Amino acid sequence: MKSVLAPARSAWLVVLLTLAAAMLLPASPASAAIPGLQRLVTTSPSNSTGNPKAASATCPAGKNVIGLGGYVTGGNGQVVLTELLPDAMSAKVRAVAYEDASGYDGDWSVTAVAVCADPPPGLQRVSTQSPGDSDAKEWTVTCPNGKKILGLGGRLNGFEGRILLDALQPFGGVSGQLHASEDAAGLGGNWSVTAVAMCADPLPGLVTPANWSAGDSSAPKSVDAVCPTGAVAISAGGLIASGVGEYGRNKVMIDRLDVPAALDRGTAGATEAEAGAPFSWHVVAVPQCAKS
């Protein structure tokens, strides 16, 4: 369902709620929470040919996707991350990126990151798609009653390379939010977004730390949010903040959401589109962490 929060407030409210959740989280049960945890990574060829590029990271037999990430390498602000999505069987993660409207002559690649594990109790993939129109999209996917969100993915549908990802972030432990907007040139047609949550019965120590990059007009930016002691990162998340209630203002886009190999943090990266951005902005990392 669509978020009832106005776009001018929700990005900042999400960060405040995640920080509050981190401070108020009770002590976790002393038990192993995520048996079989494993990070799988696949990268497309890095070259100047092929548009779009795609990569899929597949879990070993008997394991399922519980979290995910993906990123563009190269691109210089002219390659747009359009899909980070677990498949319908929750067996793999697919990442897709497109060059922007003017194209890009340099080498670039796209990487898919799957965080896999033995299926936790109650594991369920929940998907929802926004209406198709020409407005900026703020769309929320919510786990069923009694379940918590472990990982979050999304896809931008239509006008590939012209729609910019502003936010892909867990919200309040039970839902996730995707925000996207048209590039600065604007579009004359309809487009939509798809948000997908990996939900399960609550894991011990589930928490969403948040950390902000410096705020200025330089690009690219990257920032890590470290999991609490005794916890591991199970999915990436992030958003762009450029003023109270503002995202990327059609000029800044997320191009990296990663859970590094140590599984101790989440990384979020963003860059300015080809025309640049004449304002200060931050990128915020908001991974999901759980007791190891």
Strand-pair category, 211-212 with 163-171: unpaired
pLDDT on residue 122: 97
Residue 3 pLDDT > 80 = no
To the nearest whole percent, how much of the chain has pLDDT over 70? 89
pLDDT on residue 244: 78
Q: Is 78 helix (H, G, I), strand (E, B) or coil?
A: coil
Closest to 84 in 3D by CA, of 240, 224, 259, 226: 259
More confidently predicted of 10 and 27: 10
The first and second tokens of residue 141, run together, are 């996917």
Over the stretch 222-273, which tens digit does the pLDDT of each residue have? 999 999 999 999 999 999 999 878 999 999 999 999 999 999 999 999 999 9
pLDDT confidence band for 292 (50 / 70 / 90): confident
Q: Which residues pair with 159 in a beta bridge?
A: none
- Residue 172 and residue 94: Cα distance in Å, rounded? 26
pLDDT confidence band for 2 (50 / 70 / 90): very low
Closest to 12 in 3D by CA, of 141, 138, 154, 128: 138
Q: Which residue has the tokens 């991350």?
A: 81
pLDDT on residue 243: 86
pLDDT on residue 25: 36
- Mean pLDDT of all residues belonging to the chain: 90
- Residue 222 and residue 199: Cα distance in Å, rounded? 27
pLDDT on residue 32: 56
Over the stretch 153-206, which tens digit does the pLDDT of each residue have? 999 999 999 999 999 999 889 999 999 999 999 998 999 999 999 999 999 999
Closest to 4 in 3D by CA, of 208, 175, 239: 175
Kindly state the DSSP code that residue 27 receives in the 8-state scheme: P
Upstream peptide bond of 202 is cis (omega within 30 degrees of 0): no
- Residue 37 and residue 114: Cα distance in Å, rounded? 10
* DSSP E strands, the chain: 38-43, 53-58, 64-74, 79-86, 92-99, 108-117, 124-129, 137-142, 148-157, 163-171, 175-182, 192-200, 211-212, 221-226, 231-235, 238-241, 252-258, 265-272, 282-285, 288-291
- Note the helical H segments in the chain: 7-24
| Kind and range of the H or E run holding 125 | strand 124-129
Q: How many CB atoms lie within 10 A of CB 88?
A: 9
Closest to 282 in 3D by CA, of 218, 232, 193, 206: 218
pLDDT on residue 231: 97
The first and second tokens of residue 137, run together, are 């999209």
Q: Give the type of residue at 139.
A: W
pTM, to two decimals? 0.89
Residue 26 pLDDT > 60 = no
pLDDT confidence band for 29 (50 / 70 / 90): very low
The first and second tokens of residue 189, run together, are 């047609």
